[in-house]
Amino acid sequence: MATEHRVGSEVKPAFSRLFKTADGEIVLSYLRRRFYDNKIDNENIARQVGQRDVVRAIMNLSGDDNGK
C-alpha cells in the first residue's frame, strides 16, 4: 500500500516532469524504438518481453499515451 501511494504522489509526477523535457523526450523516443517497437524473436523472447515491459512502465509513469 505504501508503495502504491508513493508511486502516485512522488514517482509518477517525477517521471512526467523528467520525460517532458526535450532531453527526456529524446531518451524516451530512443527507448521506445530500441526496446518497445522492435519485433520479438523466439531466440531471446524472455529478455525482449522484459525490456518491453520496462519501457511500457516508463511510458505509463511519464504520461505517454503510447504506453497503454
| Proportion of the chain above pLDDT 70, given as a percent | 84
Task: Parse the chain into domains and list their residue ranges.
Answer: 2-67
Burial 21-40 (b: 16+ CB within 10 A, else e): eeeeeeebeebbeebbeeee
Q: How confident is the model at residue 9 (pLDDT cuts 50, 70, 90)?
A: confident
pLDDT of 42 above 90: no
Residue that has been written with the C-alpha cell 532531453 in this structure: 23
pLDDT computed for residue 57 by the predictor = 94
**Which of 27, 51, 26, 24 lies closest to 39, judged by CA?**
51
pTM summary value: 0.77
52 vs 67: CA distance, rounded Å = 10
